[in-house]
Structure 1
């Protein structure tokens, strides 16, 4: 046998790439492999799909045992292919499409009965399957029915019936028919509003059905948040306990230093009262001090010296005159 290093690296690389591709394909399509796949595929015939889709759950006695592989239309019937794993399916098994959530998501419910195992090539006949009546279809049918009613003619019919009964009819019956007549007139006057109401209801149900995945994701995120809060409940409890202990310590600190803080706060209050009472005098003092500090700033603001003069300190001769400079100049 040749050493591994002496073999052609191109051949070794090609074989390695093929093996990796085969391993990747086996990983992605493991459900379709005959020995390690996702179970056995069966079929069931229905009169309607009722909103059942591919990858919807297949349940037996409330336990998920597989998924719907495909939903096909064959002639006037719907053929549902589903795959189950480690589940016995009898030759008299029944199948039903059930509503899983209030938002209209469906699942396939299997009731495995019989005295022998069902042949995977033999579909469950339509006689042993059932479909729910979709809520959207209900509102559509109701809207169509209401829209087809001639409300004006209905109102006239009730009015004619009420007049025909006349005075010979007992008072209770006349009152009842009067109420029916008023109801029919109300329906006639609100015909367009009722049709719009049912149409809007249909749109709402359709929108909720289209947003099923987003609503489910929102619920899952809420569950994740609650799970995380539950997992960290000890830490949250310790946090609340620490805050409570801190408030107790602060209350004790204030109580312990109340005798010291009380007189200090009283003195501070008296000082504030004195300052408030002399506010006008303080403002006047600050106003008068303004020119002084302005001149002082001019004197010391030219450098590290004081820029000023003293009049008459060294007399130049005779009696010193006025320190003010001459109006016309001079020496």
Structure 2
């Protein structure tokens, strides 16, 4: 008997399939994988917690991710809050293995004085908790500001005069009682008198306490942040404790060495300190003179800066230092050595600065050429003598006059009459 042949199943390669469909399927699988990775603790078959809910008359400051505790141990987290009518539905998770009976109670309690809350569960009853915990088995927190406010309201409603009178009457009624009871009632009477006399002060104290608690309630987040920052600072100090200890040890060693140096050189240091004190005393006695000197030096420094502000040279005006009739020959000799005539304008001065080129080149401006050609001379002796490095201005015989008719500063061309005479 021969077996029937089953049809062979063939799988198409991805290259022959519909590429858009393959791409969409791959993207969906990738998204599902990412969601599963980031939400693995919420998947029904993977997560190790169970979901529960409870109804409260008010949230009382509890928030998502607040701790859920059983007998002081963390067993879960608050998942969320939702308002349903006049009740607040709080959903939370509990680790598997924690048994909650069908009469389990829940209460929102205060963890710290700053107002942090957590959810306290009290397992009661048999079986397992299957539905939300009703309002009858839940308790909302009672804050310190509310307690002080209620105390203030109760005390403000008391008639201190009637209370004092009632306590006094009670003391008079029991005045023939045994001495111990009589002393106790007298103490109560004195206490009531004190309350009556300090009524306004007590009311003001309670009002101030109410204001303080209100401020603390409003600034609870800032106080919590301050405490957290202080904890971080202390943690960092603890982590750097070895470094701080080493620093303190080094400072102690340095202070000891300095003290030893001072002790060893006390005889030498005392005269130096005495002289320093003497110098300081002299400076203090001459304070007015020093201030005057600094004021005059400031004016001198400003004038000195103006003198050197035009370039790498001193710009000063000295009046009547040398009489003009004595300086004129030296000036003419200097211009003669340069081949210049003071009465003839330079080519740069022939242009009108308002409509033509500037009359002088921009700074820094070198000294004029000497007529020998080459690079311009950058020092005054070079400009006058024409010799680099010449430290003085020797006298030179004037050059012979150029022929008539040449460029300035030579003599002008002769007229026709002069030509005929020759």
Q: TM tier, shorter chain?
A: 0.5 to 0.7
In structure 2, the residue matched to 1:201 is 209
Greater mean deviation of Cα atoms: 166-175 or 57-66: 166-175
Q: Do residues 108 (structure 1) and 119 (structure 2) align? A: yes
TM-superposed CA distance for 1:78, in Å, is: 5.9
For the residues of structure 2 that align with 1:159 and 1:244, how far apart are their CA atoms?
A: 68
For the residues of structure 2 that align with 1:174 and 1:240, how far apart are their CA atoms?
A: 65
For the residues of structure 2 that align with 1:42 and 1:54, how far apart are their CA atoms?
A: 14
TM superposition score normalised by structure 1: 0.58
TM-superposed CA distance for 1:227, in Å, is: 1.7
1:169–1:25 Cα change, 3 Å: same
For the residues of structure 2 that align with 1:96 and 1:242, how far apart are their CA atoms?
A: 57
Q: Do residues 262 (structure 1) and 268 (structure 2) align? A: yes
In structure 2, the residue matched to 1:240 is 248
Higher helix share: 1
- SS of 2:44's equivalent in the other structure is coil
- 1:20-39 to 2 correspondences below 5 Å: 32-37=42-47, 39=49
TM superposition score normalised by structure 2: 0.48
In structure 2, the residue matched to 1:286 is none
TM-superposed CA distance for 1:145, in Å, is: 1.7
Higher-Rg member (1/2): 2
In structure 2, the residue matched to 1:219 is 227
Structure 2 contact 145–217 (Cα < 8 Å) conserved: no
When the two chains are superposed, the root-mean-square deviation of aligned CA atoms in Å is: 5.3
What are the Cα deviations for residues 218-271 of structure 1, in whole angstroms up to 9, with x where unaligned? 222222222222222222223233334444555666678x49x939957x959x
For the residues of structure 1 that align with 2:316 and 2:142, how far apart are their CA atoms?
A: 98
Q: What are structure 1's unaligned runs of at least 5 residues?
A: 284-299, 310-331
- 1:2-41 to 2 correspondences below 5 Å: 3=15, 7=19, 12=23, 32-37=42-47, 39-41=49-51
- SS of 1:69's equivalent in the other structure is strand
- 1:292-311 to 2 correspondences below 5 Å: none
In structure 2, the residue matched to 1:144 is 153
For the residues of structure 2 that align with 1:198 and 1:265, how far apart are their CA atoms?
A: 67
For the residues of structure 1 that align with 2:79 and 2:322, how far apart are their CA atoms?
A: 104
How many correspondences in the alignment? 281
- SS of 2:91's equivalent in the other structure is strand
For the residues of structure 2 that align with 1:263 and 1:228, how far apart are their CA atoms?
A: 43
Match of 1:82 among 66, 88, 92: 92
In structure 1, the residue matched to 2:69 is 59
- SS of 1:219's equivalent in the other structure is helix
Q: Which has the higher contact order (CA 8 A, sep 6+)?
A: 1
In structure 1, the residue matched to 2:357 is none
For the residues of structure 2 that align with 1:16 and 1:239, how far apart are their CA atoms?
A: 60
Structure 2 contact 104–125 (Cα < 8 Å) conserved: no
1:200–1:26 Cα change, 3 Å: farther
Structure 1 contact 94–129 (Cα < 8 Å) conserved: no
For the residues of structure 2 that align with 1:221 and 1:133, how far apart are their CA atoms?
A: 28
